[in-house]
Structure 1
């Protein structure tokens, strides 16, 4: 028994060392430096005061952008997942599955570069709108601002969310779906009243992961967000690269950690309540 325990520890040791060395140790060090006063004058909140004085609007902007992008990602992924499992069009499903796999293999930095061309004033997106008569060259405007950031986030993250949520939907027992169809229920009603309640835990987990992922991206806001305010990942990079101000950068990092932790805490609290209802 003891030999098996040592073998198990030896097997997980490399992964544990990597997690501790590359994630936990830098995290603890970053939190520690965030509370160190400038010039090493002790422990205090000076870095946080300076961070909110300089970038308070950016913190609010980040929360709004990531929240809106997460909500739109949920809407797109749930709609597409439901369509893929409820649609009877073989070729339509095949095309959509192929299209939604593409963003999975494209890193965020490439997405940002693609969107700089796609969402420019006379880029492909506006050119398509001009072709169908929605816009004219005089009324066209570029989307290289907060709209472009949200568009890029949703396009990239919806593929991952659709893969996870659609997979959970596809694994459901189809007897209830077929029964609802036989009773004349529409696809929308089946999706809202039968499918979604059974995969709501998967949806919640996927949205938490999507929120955290979009919160940590630097390339998209730095390449598409040409105006102020901007996201705090850009502010952190600016403080380090331009001023070597690690204190304020780490303070902003702690703020982003609190944002991510609050979303995870909300999900865990909701999951705990659901379990209490189920077993209570």
Structure 2
């Protein structure tokens, strides 16, 4: 059998790798490079002014913190709901059909429609307020509040089906013999979920968490419609600075900073997961 040549391997990888380089790599490099450019035709070709403005302006720093909050909170809330929902879908055929039909409904609803649904339901004077007020129940402020609760609810409502789709697929790939053996040995459903399903479905859970986090970090429509007037996430500042003021170097700097934050959070997540897996492996070896 002849060995595979390096050129053959490169030619096989060229369509996928070339696509990523052209449509993702090159635009990303351009964004980073242009974040160090000046504003205007006569501006310097290399300057740190956009970064100095970004990192020294309180409005943008608050926007960065708010962007991270609006990414972490919906991801955590969606995960807390998607995990048990995915496990329930694997319990039996009836629950699989019921929850499988139920969780798919938000998938077909556009994000802006979901934001308007939350606005109509939970805003002051909305449907929920009109129903509960005669009963003496007053809802807290959930739309345009300082914590962005309305935006978190709308993002989570859209993210839960997406996460459930990925995680339930990973759980469905677990051998039924393994689960049956655990039940035969007396393991409860909670023990099976915690000790078998979650560890074996870890790749799917990781993919769901990372994709949801990145999507929420750059969300524009939902926080712009449901979030507070201050602080605004960097995604909204990118729109106003670019299309309203034409300050594109600052926009490129904001995009680069969001990308750096996303990479940092992802590396931290992988480090935590790796540490937990190593600790669990050591416990099992000790036992």
**Quick check: 1:57 aligned with 2:62?**
yes
* Residue correspondence of structure 1 range 186-197 to structure 2 within 5 A: 186-197=188-199
Q: Cα 1:168–1:130, aligned 2, differ >3 Å: closer, same or farther? A: farther
**Quick check: 1:228 aligned with 2:230?**
yes
State whether residues 161 and 210 of structure 1, in contact with CA within 8 Å, keep that contact through their aligned partners in structure 2: yes
Task: State the alpha-carbon separation in 1 of the partners of residues 14 and 112 from structure 2.
Answer: 32
Unaligned runs of 5+ in 2: 282-287
Task: State the alpha-carbon separation in 1 of the partners of residues 263 and 256 from structure 2.
Answer: 10
Task: State the alpha-carbon separation in 1 of the partners of residues 174 and 93 from structure 2.
Answer: 20
**Quick check: 1:29 aligned with 2:30?**
yes
Cα offset for 1:140?
3.3
Unaligned runs of 5+ in 1: none
State whether residues 216 and 233 of structure 1, in contact with CA within 8 Å, keep that contact through their aligned partners in structure 2: yes
Q: 1:143 is matched with which residue?
A: 142
* Residue correspondence of structure 1 range 108-147 to structure 2 within 5 A: 108-127=111-130, 129=132, 133=135, 136=137, 139-145=138-144, 146-147=148-149
Cα offset for 1:218?
1.0
- 1:112-131 Cα offsets, whole Å, 9 max, x none, are 22222222223344456558
Q: 1:103 aligns with which of 103, 106, 120?
A: 106
Q: How many residues align?
A: 268
TM normalised by structure 2 equals 0.80
- 1:88-134 Cα offsets, whole Å, 9 max, x none, are 471x5423211211222223222222222222223344456558x5x
Q: 1:43 is matched with which residue?
A: 46
Task: State the alpha-carbon separation in 2 of the partners of residues 125 and 191 from structure 1.
Answer: 35
Cα offset for 1:147?
0.3
Q: 1:264 is matched with which residue?
A: 266
State whether residues 120 and 142 of structure 1, in contact with CA within 8 Å, keep that contact through their aligned partners in structure 2: yes
- 1:120-153 Cα offsets, whole Å, 9 max, x none, are 223344456558x5x53xx334421300111111
